[in-house]
Structure 1
Amino acid sequence: MELFKCLFGVVLVFVSACDVTAQPYWTLPLQKHQPPLPSRLPQQPLKVPPPSAPSDKCQVGESEKIQCGTSDIAAEQCESINCCFDGQQCYYGKAVTVQCTRDGQFVVVVAQAATLPHISVDSVSLLETNNPSCTPVGVTSAFAIFQFPVTACGTTIKEEDGYVVYENHMSSSYEVGIGPRGSITRDSHFELLFQCRYSGATVEALVMEVNAVPPPVPVAAAGPLRAELRLGNGQCHSKGCVEEEAAYSSFYTPANYPITKMLREPVYVEVRILERSDPNIILTLEHCWATSTPNPHSLPQWDLLVDGCPYHDDRYITTVVPVDGSSGLPYPSHYKRFIIKLFTFVDQTTFTSQKDMVFIHCATAVCYPSRTNSCEQPCHRQRRAVAAVRKVSSNQRALVSSREVILIEQKTTSAPNTKSK
């Protein structure tokens, strides 16, 4: 599997704010290989109404706090510039904070926890990357800080309703896995469009967040009569509970679809034989894969299991869950279970996200054990054993698919819409 880095954005945040008269600064916690701080400290961002941010936005570890404003800034003033106050210190929260200074500077602070899954802060960059002054002025394990003049780093300038508007754009890179029949990613895609709006007498602050599109109308994939693929939704509610076991204690019903999941979130898959009570037969999974449409033969595709074993060219290897007598099932050999980490398909030419829908398919077979064929599918088996498993009549084969859509949803943390004049 080849690995590439590419740029694409699905989270759009539009921010503008300006300054007051005090002159605060920000400071980073001590880090190894920390870039030098700018020689000229930014002036105070303009006051905007305090945001009603999520309660966990300010849950930042002491070692990760970055000072926002002067050391003597008051709580009200700290919150008015979209920062957090713990009674002693004003600091940046786990979100995206954009500030505009009176002397014409952008200050943009991006938290690792701004998206789920978390982004790598060292992958965030402005679109103009050739200029050294457009790289982050500070990076920690949890935050990336950018500070640059509003006229630099590819900023566009326009006039709008009496304001002079300075607009710029940043995004994060992400890793793409290239397979023989499709490409995927499990990394968050982050894109930020931000503005500073200046006028002679008034200032306007606006924050707008655009998330994933609403779930589509459920689409059903046809399945066989004698086998079924379903997704577990059980959860642990007691101490000592094993998540992999609890997940298969209950399953999504047709009324639950489309199912919404996040990138890298585990998806618990079960395939079972229906309407059979022969304890001697064994279900085998010859091949399991994913597509972006209900059609199992459509492209792109991504392999999950090959000859019953995890696809080895995936960085997030599919986990096969053993099903034996301890499962409490009447016929454990009629079941196969595995866990995947959710992904989205990527266009192989542009490396942009192609589809937000993932359908799971498995080619199954019923195997009758004998002295020459145990029907087991150990991943280190010889070719002879593979051939023995595949010698099954067509009426003992079935193609099963996930009933409907898994819609990928990405979360981001930012302030709500605000306006101040």
Structure 2
Amino acid sequence: MLEVYMGIDAKRLDTEEMAARNYSVLVTEAHIIVEIPVGAVGGYFKSHIQDDQYFVTYTIEPMLELLWIEEVAHENTSYKVLFPITTPPMARPPQVRNYTPLDTVPEQAVFVLELGTFNLDVELLNITFPTMVLTVAECNARGFNVQEQRSPDNTLKTFRMEVPFSDPVVFKERRAEQGVTTFTLQLIYGLVIFPEYAPFSHSAVVDAVLLDIVPPSVTGNCDQENFHITVDYRNQEPFFVVLVGKRLLNHEFAQQYLTEGDTDFTITLPFSSPDAVFESVHSSSVRSRLDVALLNPYNNMTIKYFSLACSFLKTLTECFSNGTMTALAVKVESAPGLNPGQLTLSDPACGPTYSDDRFAYFHFTVNSCGTTRKFINNVMLYENEISLPDELEVKLNATTSSEEEYQLKVSCYYVANITRTLAFLTRPRDNEPFAETGTGRLMVRMRLAQDASYNTFHQEEDYPVVRYLRQPLHFEVELTTSSDPKVALVLDHCWATLNEDRDSRPRWNLIINGCENPEDPYRVVFHPVEADARVHFPPHVKRFEAYMFSIADDAVEPSGQVTKFTQQSLFFNFVCGNHPFKRILTKKLTPSNL
């Protein structure tokens, strides 16, 4: 014998390939012995049915290639042989493995069954239950989730199925004296072998015994500030985990917000908690919702779901007597992609004073940030709007593939006294007692200070007071007879006339609707008022500074330079509301003081 080679399917293998497949060849004086493990690479398994029993065989076709020399003739002889080998049938009875978790309530439990193991030439056709026969497609439509699973080397398969305890194909038997319920599932798998289409079946009976468990109940209510969620787990130990919003109830969370009873516990959370969501915002309330779910800790299936939504009376907009407003904008569920820090008032330049991922806080005056004002009978209404700038709203909608829009109107009402004095009352908060607007006489005093310190004032005998052009005039208007800290004085209209008649013409407006005259080249300057030994209620006092001017003969327009005038002194009568003021004299104009 000169050479001996081995191969598979008429293809010669080298030494490394034979070692990798665990093949071996032994040459003796009389024999050539080849060993091939059953199931080795190069062969294949085939399924068979005998008497409705499942068998498999293994087939492989080795090759031997020999070269020897004849002792007598001394001639070389080459010989190749192909020898198909099939093993006898090997029994592979399929088994049903039951992976059913029993640590849950019957309403959520399922039978989890796995049938196998089979060769790849076996397919599942149908499943027979005591009351019906269902195809694989019909089983999946019923929610049984039948799946074919393969081994990592893709040579074997199993069939997995889930059948809920609550399905009618599951037989239930309760044993009250033992306090248990038995769930039984009987089924026959209908299978077939390809390509010969040889049918066979496998029957199984599985059951599960569960202690009678009363499902937990979840209830809830709200007070003025908080959600209160109570979970009653009756006579059983808690067999679930609690999901509050999107957060699991852990030890740290429980210590802060949970109160335990004998068979229940209560979760108390503020309406503004990050675990809650804001559904909507109104002028005097916020609608907030808290979602709570009880989950099976092993498969995360929901045992119980509870949602509680309440409206909480909250003043999101506050109006102050000094003419300032504050507003709180909250992120609502319908705009999940919103960044509150990008919100602005009607004037895009007016952003929030403070913001985070859920809130934006605005602080502004009623004569700024695009605030509008209108009169409704004896009420002044100031309005503004919180929204996202147009370019950011377009960008947000482009990234979220939805049309998110955020608009929140904020308003303040100021009720005017019908006597047309300079006092206006701010509207009380919605959750405070509301008093109807009264009528009466309020005394208002208007004085001219000697300088910007507002410590000394001109007396009656000082008038007419003489001032050069563009010199400052420091006015103080004071509510003198009221000690109510909730009353605030507002300078609505102030103007100057040449005559004592307050309605005479020509006239020049200094303050219009509480604001500086935008056409005035030298606008009025408002000065803040702080409490001191003389001023007990700063909202009762207003101070402003105007600059002395003249009025041209041709037009009602102030001027720091008079180009056309007579050699007469100009007297001005300053008026705020219905309160006239002493006349102030502009010094006679000469080239030296022009």
Higher strand share: 2
Structure whose CA Rg is larger: 2
Into which bin does the TM-score normalised by the smaller protein fall? 0.3 to 0.5
Structure with the larger RCO, 1 or 2 (CA within 8 Å, 6+ apart): 1
Q: When the two structures are superposed, what TM-score results if normalisation uses the length of structure 2?
A: 0.23
> When the two structures are superposed, what TM-score results if normalisation uses the length of structure 1?
0.32
Pick the structure with more helix per residue: 1
